[in-house]
Amino acid sequence: NEDSVKPCHCYHRRPKFICLTTESHVTMRATEKFHFGLSDRARLWDSAEIDPDAEDWGNYIIIPEFGIEADLLANKSLSLQCYLHDNYNSRPAPGRLKNDAKTVIAIDYKF
């Protein structure tokens, strides 16, 4: 089992495509990561990140991810993953939804 929580601060600068200007602000970032071994060849994980605007706490992004992974080879170089990744933006760009979730099934190769 492995877990961690890490706070930090960031500076975001991104273009506003409609006005051809940029927007920038300082954010506070908190991340969390947890791994749980089900066996020597299978594991669960979750991670989460929250990035609120330091000057406007109502403007934030939350990115959680939950998944399971199973090794397909004994040397652990090839695995099958299935996970849910979500991206929630409290103030999305005009015409966009606040929530963007996806389910991913993938084969992972480690060099």
- Per-residue pLDDT tens digits for 5-57: 565 656 655 555 555 555 666 777 788 888 899 999 999 999 998 888 878 88
- Is pTM beyond 0.85? Reply is no
Position 54 scores a pLDDT of 78
Bridge partners of residue 2, in order along the sequence = 35
Is the pLDDT confidence value at 71 over 90?
yes
Give dist(CA 41, CA 38) in Å, integer.
Answer: 8
Give dist(CA 1, CA 98) in Å, integer.
Answer: 33
Position 28 scores a pLDDT of 77
Burial 38-53 (b: 16+ CB within 10 A, else e): eeeeebebbbbbbbbb
Give dist(CA 111, CA 25) in Å, integer.
Answer: 38
